[in-house]
């Protein structure tokens, strides 16, 4: 019964995404997070790590409007779709990634999003630690790319490194909320950290 319900929920969001023109069901996770925490505002600059196939970029683009800008980064190609978006095909571990990002922006971002995930190999401890390593890289970039008092939404895979990672982000944001939006599968170990008021220069 539980599995049947989970599959029905997944199919619901997949059908909704197709009907409403979103590139992935993940778009609804960001819609739900933003409805609760109100981070995506008109005129903002947003950086989206792990942007492919573009669902989060679509939502962000709608929210920031023509006066805002959304920059998406992924190793996989993302098809362009809106004038207020820029898409870069880069590796998050590129040593010059922050300079490459800032070269496309008029200033540092107001919001950083990370929906990064490694290629899953099925060994949970390995998958978890690889995903945490990726999002830690995003955190390392924040002094270079995020405005003081800016905000972030960071996906993590729950596991042995979660407590340590939470400690890291609590040290640099005034507020950190742990959230699991309804569009996220019940069985999934993914959590979203909604981080408010970045306080590191």
Task: Report the SS3 class of residue 80.
Answer: coil
Structure tokens at 76: 């996989």
Query: Are 189 and 158 in contact, with CB atoms under 8 Å apart?
Result: yes
For residue 155, indicate whether it is catalytic. yes
> Which residues, other chains included, contact 97 with Cβ-Cβ below 8 Å and sequence gap of 6+?
73, 90, 91, 141
CA 183 to chain CA centroid, Å, is 14
- Cβ-contact 81, 87 below 8 angstroms: no
* Per annotation, catalytic residue among 155, 180, 187, 196: 155
DSSP 120: P
Residue whose C-alpha is closest to residue 156's, from 179, 122, 186, 183: 179
Burial classification of residue 42, based on how many CB atoms lie within 10 Å of its CB (0-12 exposed, 13-18 middle, 19 or more buried):
exposed
**Active-site positions?**
155
């Amino acid at each position: 019964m539980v599995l049947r319900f989970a599959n029905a929920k997944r199919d619901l969001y997949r059908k909704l995404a197709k009907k409403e023109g979103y590139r992935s069901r993940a778009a609804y996770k960001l819609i739900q997070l933003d409805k609760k925490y109100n981070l995506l505002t008109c005129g903002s600059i947003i950086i989206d790590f792990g942007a492919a196939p573009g669902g989060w970029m679509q939502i962000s683009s709608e929210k920031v409007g023509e006066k805002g800008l959304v920059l998406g980064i992924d190793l996989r190609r993302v098809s362009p779709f809106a004038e207020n978006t820029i898409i870069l095909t880069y590796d998050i571990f590129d040593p010059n990634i922050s300079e490459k990002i800032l070269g496309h922006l008029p200033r540092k971002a107001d919001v950083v999003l990370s929906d990064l995930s490694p290629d899953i190999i099925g060994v949970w401890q390995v998958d978890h630690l690889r995903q945490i390593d990726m999002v830690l890289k995003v955190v390392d970039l924040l002094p270079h790319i995020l405005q003081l008092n800016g905000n972030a939404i960071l996906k993590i895979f729950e596991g042995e490194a979660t407590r340590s990672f939470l400690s890291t982000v609590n040290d640099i944001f005034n507020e950190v909320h742990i959230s699991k939006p309804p569009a996220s599968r019940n069985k999934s170990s993914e959590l979203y950290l909604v981080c408010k008021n970045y306080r590191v220069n």
